[in-house]
Structure 1
Amino acid sequence: MKTLVCRSTRHASRRTLIQGMAVALLMPTLSTAQAQLALSTAINRAARFRALSQRIAKVYCQIHLNVLPDQARGVLTTARQLVRSGFEDLAKMQWPAELSRMVADIQKQSDVLETLLVMPPTRESVGAVAAQSDKMMAASQAATEAFEKYAKLGSAKLVNTAGRQRALSQRLAKNYFLVAAKLEAKGTQEQMKADAAELRQAMTSLAAAPVSTPAIRNELALGDSQWLFFDGALQHRPDDRNLETVATTSERMLEVMDRLTGLYDAALKEVLG
Structure 2
Amino acid sequence: MKAKYKALILLWFAALLWLPMSASGAVAADMAALVNTAGMQRMLSQRIAKDYLFLGGQIRAGKATRQMKGSVALMVNNHDVLKKSVTDARVRELLDEIDPLLEKMVKISKAPYVKFDGATMLELSETLLELNQAVVMELEGKQAEKTVSAVNIAGRQRMLSQRISKFYAAHQAGFQSDATMAQMTRAVEEFESAHANLESNSLNSEKINRELKGVENLWKTIRHYFTDNSEVGYPVTIFVTTDDIMKRMNAITLMYVKAHWASKSN
TM-score, with normalisation over the residues of structure 2? 0.84
Contact in 1 for aligned 2:185/2:226 (Cα 8 Å): no
Change (3 A) 1:188 1:42: same
Change (3 A) 1:176 1:94: closer
Root mean square deviation of aligned Cα: 2.0
| Distance of 2:100 and 2:131 partners within structure 1 | 9
Moved more, 131-140 or 224-233: 224-233
Cα deviation code 1:20-49 (max 9, x no counterpart): xxxxxxxxxx9xxx7896211110011111
**1:70 paired residue number:** 62
Moved more, 109-118 or 214-223: 109-118
**2:95 paired residue number:** 103
| Distance of 1:50 and 1:89 partners within structure 2 | 15
Which one of the candidate residues 224, 236, 242 is aligned to 1:250? 242
Contact in 2 for aligned 1:165/1:257 (Cα 8 Å): yes
TM-score, with normalisation over the residues of structure 1? 0.82
Say whether residues 1:90 and 2:82 are aligned partners: yes
Cα deviation code 1:119-162 (max 9, x no counterpart): 21111111111111111111000000100000221211111111
| Distance of 1:119 and 1:35 partners within structure 2 | 36
**1:261 paired residue number:** 253
Aligned-pair CA distance for 1:191: 1.1
Q: Which has the larger radius of gyration?
A: 1
Q: Secondary structure at the residue paired with 1:119?
A: coil
Q: Match for 1:189: what amino acid?
A: M
Count of matched residue pairs? 240
| Distance of 2:257 and 2:177 partners within structure 1 | 35
Q: Match for 1:108: what amino acid?
A: P
Q: Secondary structure at the residue paired with 1:151?
A: coil
Say whether residues 1:142 and 2:123 are aligned partners: no
Say whether residues 1:172 and 2:164 are aligned partners: yes
| Distance of 1:164 and 1:62 partners within structure 2 | 22
Q: Secondary structure at the residue paired with 1:187?
A: helix
| Distance of 2:38 and 2:97 partners within structure 1 | 11
Aligned-pair CA distance for 1:226: 1.1
**1:200 paired residue number:** 192
**1:9 paired residue number:** none
Aligned-pair CA distance for 1:170: 0.8
Say whether residues 1:221 and 2:210 are aligned partners: no
Change (3 A) 1:107 1:178: same
Contact in 2 for aligned 1:37/1:269 (Cα 8 Å): no
Q: State the percentage of identical aligned residues.
A: 22
Q: Secondary structure at the residue paired with 2:142?
A: helix
Say whether residues 1:190 and 2:182 are aligned partners: yes
**2:31 paired residue number:** 39
Give ranges in structure 1 of 5+ residues lacking alignment.
1-29
Which one of the candidate residues 230, 234, 237 is aligned to 2:222? 230
| Distance of 1:114 and 1:176 partners within structure 2 | 22
| Distance of 2:97 and 2:240 partners within structure 1 | 31
| Distance of 2:75 and 2:231 partners within structure 1 | 29
Q: Match for 2:168: what amino acid?
A: Y
Contact in 1 for aligned 2:185/2:227 (Cα 8 Å): no
**1:81 paired residue number:** 73
